[in-house]
């Protein structure tokens, strides 16, 4: 990251008035040498600290026969890192180093250090040695820059994996049904129909529903029909009359079988749908031809005539199919309240075998203990050969950082986009960034994009990371990406988590905005995490607020 501002460190105390007559004079007049570094506050990017150092030697400073070795050294808590020295020579030296002429010059060099822990609190200095004939004189050390900003290392490198969802129904829609049959062209309900097997079963179902605390009748439908023979107009009227008599019959049927729910009465008219269904399920000869006629013609009169033209078949329809369509249906619409999450968790210990695949998957999703979660997924795999449980088992192992078992579980899972992402997270945690990148690219889902953004941050591609996270849910990595790209307003908007890491990131935002009071407030909140508290004492982001 390049800060929007650059602070140039300089040490300029004058220009030499006379030429140096010896190496000792060069050392004595070192104050006249100007040193600048870009950036002045060093920064760790992709595990490297890179900077550009410019040194200006004034006129009449550099001895024409001297050789100067300048060694960049990064001094930090716990040690120091040295580069190979840069070597310069006076204009009379017969060698192949960079020449600094007597009229003076500015030399610019790239410096680079591999990051090591402790470099967050460091500084860059230049150590020089002048050689002339048999003399060697050490130059005063020149400080070039402070360092080093390692804010990108706040990235969460664990990666994100998603469990596959269950299809558990908290409310299950059910129906209970009975029906009464009418004779041809009649809307009279026969007493025999009120005590038919269908009605008895309907009444028994209502009683069972009323006795079951998990079931409730939400509404009841009374639907009356006429068989599709005899003309559409006639059957429409007949169906309407049957709806009226059916409603009265429903009152008798439910007199001792209470139904406290709205009753909706509907007249359908000719029951072509029922006709098609019964024909499809029958053994009637040429039933395929009858069904084809239904698909070819939409006009009820044409349909009826075409079917009647198949005289032999029509006799079978009159006997086996049409009487079943002169009816009224009583339909109780029922809601079954399934086990709650707490009940599911209790059943895991008390009676796990009664749970179906979806119930096991839901139970596992709400169990907090990861070891218990693993056992439930294993049960779903054992009992139902559940593909989702097989994948989720791998995710559960990833979340407990048991990567060996995670890979073993995922070896038997379907290799879809979720699988690719999960394998990428394993590679990320194992430090194999190249493999992780391939898996995330192969996945292509939204979660893998978020994980790929982690790699971007680690590789110094902050703009790419911010773009990948723009549409993602708020997270600390999203906040960090916006900080690293200088989008502080967006970073503040995304900092919604009530946690120590987010408080720390808010402190960084406040520091870059120059809000001293907020820096103090957020560091105090972040210090609930001892590691963050320790980091804050050394973080150069907060140097001017200490």
> Tens of pLDDT along 211-222?
999 999 999 999
Taking a C-beta distance cutoff of 8 angstroms, is the pair 88, 101 a contact? no
> How do residues 480-537 score in pLDDT, each as one tens digit?
999 999 999 999 999 999 999 999 999 999 999 999 999 999 999 999 999 999 999 9
Confidence of residue 393 (pLDDT cuts 50, 70, 90): very high
For residues 158-186, give the mean pLDDT. 96
518, 507 Cβ separation under 8 angstroms: yes
Q: Which of 112, 104, 47 is nearest to 81 (CA)?
A: 112
Q: How far is 400 from 241, CA to CA, in rounded Å? A: 67
Query: What pLDDT sits at residue 535?
Result: 96
Determine whether domain 23-149 maps to CATH 2.60.40: yes
User: What percent of the chain shows pLDDT beyond 70?
Assistant: 96
Cis peptide before 24 (omega within 30 of 0): no
For residue 15, the model assigns a pLDDT of 36
Cis peptide before 141 (omega within 30 of 0): no
Instruction: Give the residue among 17, 25, 8 at the shortest CA–CA distance from 104.
Output: 17
DSSP-derived 3-state class of residue 528: coil
Residue closest to 292 by CA, chosen among 305, 306, 312, 282 = 306
Distances, alpha carbon 374 to alpha carbons 39, 382, 410, 477, in Å = 50, 12, 13, 28
Rounded Cα distance between 216 and 258, Å, is 12
- State mean pLDDT over 269-273: 91
pLDDT band at 21 (very low <50, low <70, confident <90, very high): low
Q: What are the backbone dihedrals phi and psi of residue 463, each rounded to the nearest 5 degrees, phi first?
A: -65, -40
pLDDT tens string 358-385 = 999 999 999 999 999 999 999 999 999 9
> Residue 459 belongs to what H/E stretch?
none
* Torsion angle defined by CA atoms of residues 242, 244, 250 and 253, in that order, rounded to the nearest 10 degrees: -70
Nearest to 474 by CA among 428, 518, 435, 506: 506
pLDDT tens for 407-435 read: 999 999 999 999 999 999 999 999 999 99
Q: Which residue has the tokens 């379907």?
A: 414
Report domain extents, the chain.
Answer: 23-149, 171-337
Rounded to an integer, the average pLDDT of 339-367 is 96
pLDDT score of 309: 78
Q: Report, as an integer, the average pLDDT of 48-76.
A: 96
From first CA to last CA, the distance across the chain in angstroms is 23
Residue 366: the pLDDT is 96
Mean pLDDT of the 255-274 span: 93
Q: Annotate 138-198 with DSSP letters as a single string.
A: EPPPEEEEEEEE-GGGGS--S----PPPP---SEEEEEEEEEEE--TT--PPPHHHHTSHH
3-state secondary structure at position 472: coil
What is residue 396's predicted lDDT score, i.e. its pLDDT?
98
Average pLDDT over residues 91-120: 95
Find the mean pLDDT for residues 471-484. Answer: 97
pLDDT band at 2 (very low <50, low <70, confident <90, very high): very low
Report residue 4's pLDDT band, with 50, 70 and 90 as the boundaries: very low
> Average pLDDT in the 192-198 region?
96
Q: Does position 138 have pLDDT exceeding 60, yes or no?
A: yes
Element containing residue 366 per DSSP (H, E): helix 357-366
Sorting pLDDT into bands at 50, 70 and 90, what band is 436?
very high
The alpha carbon torsion through 222, 228, 234, 238 (nearest 10 deg) reads -20
Residue range 171-337, CATH number: 3.30.1330.60
Mean pLDDT across 202-208: 97
The least confident of 273-277, 425-429, 435-439 is 273-277
Average pLDDT over every residue of 17-27: 70
Distance (Å, rounded) from C-alpha 442 to C-alpha 454?
Answer: 16
SS (H, E, C) 16-82: CCCCCCCHHHHHHCHHHCEEEEECCEEEEECCEEEEEEEEEECCCCCCCCCEEEEEEEEEECCEEEE
Yes or no: say if 484 and 465 are a contact pair by the CB < 8 Å rule.
yes
CB 87, CB 68: distance < 8 Å: yes
Closest-CA residue to 228 (of 187, 274, 188): 274
Question: Mean pLDDT score of the chain, rounded to an integer?
Answer: 93
Binned at pLDDT 50, 70 and 90, residue 283 comes out as confident
286-290, 332-336, 414-418, 450-454, range with the lowest pLDDT: 286-290
Confidence check: pLDDT of 323 > 70: yes
Q: Is the predicted pLDDT of residue 238 greater than 70, yes or no?
A: yes
pLDDT at residue 188 in the model: 97
Q: What was the pLDDT predicted at 10?
A: 36
Class of residue 281 by CB neighbours under 10 A (exposed 0-12, middle 13-18, buried 19+): exposed
- Which residues have a Cβ under 8 Å from the Cβ of 58 and sit 6 or more positions away? 15, 16, 32, 33, 34, 104
- pTM, entire model: 0.80
Q: Average pLDDT, stretch 259-283? A: 92
**What is the predicted pLDDT for the residue at 9?**
34
pLDDT of residue 1 exceeding 80: no
pLDDT at 246 over 90: yes
């Amino acid at each position: 990251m390049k800060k929007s501002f650059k602070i140039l460190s300089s040490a300029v105390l004058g220009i030499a008035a006379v030429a140096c007559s010896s190496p000792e004079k060069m050392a004595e007049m070192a104050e006249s040498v100007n040193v600048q570094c870009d950036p002045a506050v060093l920064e760790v990017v992709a595990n490297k600290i890179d900077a550009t150092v410019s040194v200006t030697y004034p006129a009449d400073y550099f001895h024409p026969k001297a050789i100067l070795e300048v060694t960049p050294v990064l001094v930090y808590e716990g040690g120091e890192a040295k580069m190979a020295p840069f070597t310069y020579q006076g204009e009379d030296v017969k060698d192949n180093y960079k020449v600094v002429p007597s009229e003076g010059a500015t030399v610019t060099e790239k410096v680079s250090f591999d990051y090591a822990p402790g470099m967050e609190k460091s500084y860059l200095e230049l150590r020089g040695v002048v050689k002339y004939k048999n003399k060697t004189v050490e130059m005063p050390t020149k400080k070039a820059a402070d360092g080093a900003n390692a804010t990108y290392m706040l990235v969460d490198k664990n990666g994100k994996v998603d469990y596959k969802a269950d299809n558990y129904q908290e409310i299950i829609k059910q129906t209970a049904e009975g029906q009464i049959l009418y004779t041809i062209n009649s809307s009279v309900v026969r007493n025999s129909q009120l005590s038919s097997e269908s009605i008895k079963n309907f009444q028994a179902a209502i009683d069972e529903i009323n006795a079951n605390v998990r079931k409730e009748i939400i509404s009841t439908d009374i639907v009356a029909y006429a068989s599709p023979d005899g003309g559409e107009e006639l059957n429409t009227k007949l169906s309407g009359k049957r709806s009226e008599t059916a409603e009265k019959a429903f009152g008798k049927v439910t007199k001792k079988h209470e139904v406290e729910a709205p009753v909706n009465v509907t007249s359908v008219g000719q029951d072509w749908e029922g006709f098609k269904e019964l024909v499809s399920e029958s053994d009637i000869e040429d039933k395929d031809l009858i069904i084809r006629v239904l698909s070819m013609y939409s006009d009820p009169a044409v349909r009826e005539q075409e079917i009647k033209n198949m005289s032999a078949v029509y006799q079978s329809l009159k006997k086996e199919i049409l009487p079943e369509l002169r009816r009224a249906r009583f339909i109780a619409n029922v809601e079954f309240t399934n086990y709650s999450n707490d009940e599911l968790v209790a059943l895991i210990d008390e009676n796990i075998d009664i749970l179906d695949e979806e119930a096991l998957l839901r139970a596992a999703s709400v169990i907090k203990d990861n070891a218990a979660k693993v056992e439930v997924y294993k049960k779903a795999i054992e009992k139902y050969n559940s593909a989702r449980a097989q994948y989720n088992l791998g995710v559960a192992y990833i979340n407990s950082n048991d990567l060996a078992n995670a890979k073993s579980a995922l070896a038997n899972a379907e290799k879809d986009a979720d699988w690719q992402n999960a394998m990428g997270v394993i590679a990320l945690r194992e430090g194999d960034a190249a493999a992780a990148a391939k898996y995330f690219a192969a996945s292509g889902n939204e979660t893998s994009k978020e994980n790929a953004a982690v790699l971007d941050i680690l590789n110094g591609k902050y703009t790419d990371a911010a773009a990948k996270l723009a549409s993602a849910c708020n997270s600390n990595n999203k906040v960090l990406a916006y900080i690293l790209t200088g989008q502080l307003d967006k970073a503040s908007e995304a900092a919604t988590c009530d946690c120590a890491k987010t408080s720390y990131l808010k402190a960084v935002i406040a520091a870059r905005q120059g809000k001293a009071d907020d820096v103090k407030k957020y560091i105090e909140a972040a210090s609930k995490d001892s590691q963050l508290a320790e980091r804050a004492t050394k973080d150069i982001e907060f140097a001017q607020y200490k």
